[in-house]
Structure 1
Amino acid sequence: MLPSSNVFRAVGLTFGAVILLTGCGSGDNNSSGSTTSKSGPSLPADVPRTYDPCRDVPESVLASEKLHGQQTANSDADGGVKWRGCAWVRSNGYAVSIRTTNLTVDVVRAKKFPDSQEFTVGTRRAISTRQFEGPHIKEACTVDVEMKGGSLEFNLNNPPSNRDTGSIDSCELARALAEKVVPTIPPTA
């Protein structure tokens, strides 16, 4: 079992890499407060504020997944991309951040990440993507679930060396977690 500080250091590196891969650096601002790309859908100016993952993810969900060690995981990237939320870790298992972001499902789809899969969670559109290349592509998965003005993003890192979850596909884990959390989002969000 890795000490919590080492796990969160690894999670931080993973999230940093995702930020670099998902940044929308070639946008220009328009009068509506959103950023548009010459080749894709617009990016809202801010993250959805109707759901705070640090406060609103139920303790019962965290307990069912054995997630603990909550840490703030806010970040900004080039082009106005923003994330607001928290990260958790499961001892001998995966680490995950659950954050609101101004990346919409359409913006994520337009990035054409490997192994993209579209689906629904309840009535909300969702997309899972693998945002890394190379030998570790299967270790991480990002699920974005539609919200007004962006999405709720589940960024999960699950190396095969993790005793409890390492043999489970990271996208399967991220999708199962999303299925538990998304019903707690207000219907109007």
Structure 2
Amino acid sequence: MSGIDVRGVIRSAAILLGALPVLVACGSDGSHSTTDSSSVLQTGVPSAFDPCRDIPDSTLQQLGFDSGSRKSIPDQVINTGDVDQVVRARGCEFAIDGGAGYQGPTRIAIEATNTTIAYFRKHDEKDRPVREISVEGRDVIISGPAFGGQCEGLIDVPGGGILLSTADTNATSCDMVVKTAKAIAPLLPK
């Protein structure tokens, strides 16, 4: 199995989560104001859930992840090009052990991020399928598959979201993202 191309994920996240500037509108008096304050990033990464620490081995095994493969991803800070708009993420990646004949994705990253559902909705790439679902009463956005199978999902949590992403080129990547969202949602803070 190959590891997630962290640079590729970071490039993708920069495009997905922040490459577009926040739009500024001019009032009739010449003043400037942000058009949608709900799409502004939170300042820090939510700390009430740590994907590296707070997902029990039993949940990982239920998902078909190798619990021994838990690997910390270096903290990410991605400048969006907007003043005071920096995407931040912290988490872990996990190898997926689907058994003999398994044809799905081989790795998934699970990260706490300051990206909100509103920000994700506004800045998501428009060239890939996007659907919104509810899991355990939470909003979840699934974006993909794209780039030959990459899929990302964002689960709403206070102060941001939990980002799930596969970097594999596999048609079933979004199925794994949805399955993972459903498994970890009960563990997340309300």
The TM-score, its normalising length taken from structure 1, stands at 0.76
Moved >6 Å (runs of 4+)? none
Counterpart residue type for residue 53 of structure 1: P
Structure 1 or 2: larger helix share?
1
For residues 171 and 43 of structure 1, the distance between their equivalents in structure 2, rounded to whole angstroms, comes to 25
Counterpart residue type for residue 87 of structure 2: V
For residues 181 and 34 of structure 2, the distance between their equivalents in structure 1, rounded to whole angstroms, comes to 31
Shift of 1:112: 4.0
For residues 146 and 175 of structure 2, the distance between their equivalents in structure 1, rounded to whole angstroms, comes to 17
Sequence identity percentage: 20
Gaps of 5+ in 2: 24-32, 80-84, 99-104
Structure showing greater radius of gyration is: 2
What's the counterpart of residue 164 of structure 1?
none
| CA deviation string 1:100-158 (max 9, x = no partner) | 1111111111124321101111110110112845xx1xx11111010111001111233
What's the counterpart of residue 189 of structure 2?
186
Counterpart residue type for residue 14 of structure 2: L
The TM-score, its normalising length taken from structure 2, stands at 0.76
What's the counterpart of residue 153 of structure 2?
143
Task: Give me the CA root mean square deviation.
Answer: 2.3
SS at match of 1:110: helix
Gaps of 5+ in 1: 29-36, 161-167
Shift of 1:13: 3.8
For residues 119 and 85 of structure 1, the distance between their equivalents in structure 2, rounded to whole angstroms, comes to 23
Count of residue pairs the alignment pairs up: 162
What's the counterpart of residue 78 of structure 2?
77
What's the counterpart of residue 30 of structure 2?
none
For residues 5 and 89 of structure 2, the distance between their equivalents in structure 1, rounded to whole angstroms, comes to 15
What's the counterpart of residue 47 of structure 2?
49
In structure 2, the CA distance between the partners of 1:154 and 1:38, relative to structure 1 (3 Å rule), is: same
SS at match of 1:171: helix
What's the counterpart of residue 61 of structure 2?
63
For residues 129 and 61 of structure 2, the distance between their equivalents in structure 1, rounded to whole angstroms, comes to 30
Shift of 1:46: 0.6
For residues 155 and 144 of structure 1, the distance between their equivalents in structure 2, rounded to whole angstroms, comes to 9
Shift of 1:27: 5.2
SS at match of 1:120: strand
In structure 2, the CA distance between the partners of 1:131 and 1:90, relative to structure 1 (3 Å rule), is: closer
